[in-house]
Amino acid sequence: MKSIEELKAIKAKVQAELNTRDAVGDADTRIVVGMATCGIAAGARPVLNAFLEEVKNRHLSGVKVTQTGCLGMCRLEPMVEVYVPGKDKVTYIKITPDAVKKIIAEHIVNGNVVSEYVIRNNN
């Protein structure tokens, strides 16, 4: 850092990321990434980062990306659960950063579950 402006820019960037991850309300769509040891070993960290980036790039309000521990099915990691208010929870498995854009575009934006990654179709 060479100036106070750079420090302020870093603060603004981090604050925006925290706003995407915190303060989930009842009307918010939640994207929950399993981040236990098994998930991280299977590639969950890049998946989490891809969700954060895609939500930010699309300026999606009312969509929160959070993390949790073990989701109980290590062989299916990385796993992601999507909670849309008024709808059933959807569990996606074996998610890659490339799959994130499709899930955001189809499920989060257009309301269509991406069946190729749903647990019932892949276990």
pLDDT tier for residue 122 given thresholds of 50, 70 and 90:
low
Mean residue pLDDT of the chain comes to 88
CATH code of 61's domain: 3.40.30.10
Residue range 11-31, pLDDT digits in tens: 777 776 655 555 555 668 999
Q: Which helix (H) or strand (E) holds 6?
A: helix 4-21
Q: Tell me how far apart the alpha carbons of residues 79 and 118 are, in angstroms, rounded to a whole number.
A: 10
Domain count, the chain: 1
Question: What tokens were used for 43?
Answer: 């590639």
Full domain range(s) for residue 76? 4-122
Residue range 75-99, pLDDT digits in tens: 999 999 999 999 999 999 999 999 9
Q: For 89, which DSSP code? A: -
Instruction: Give the residue from 97, 78, 84 showing the smallest Cα distance to 36.
Output: 78
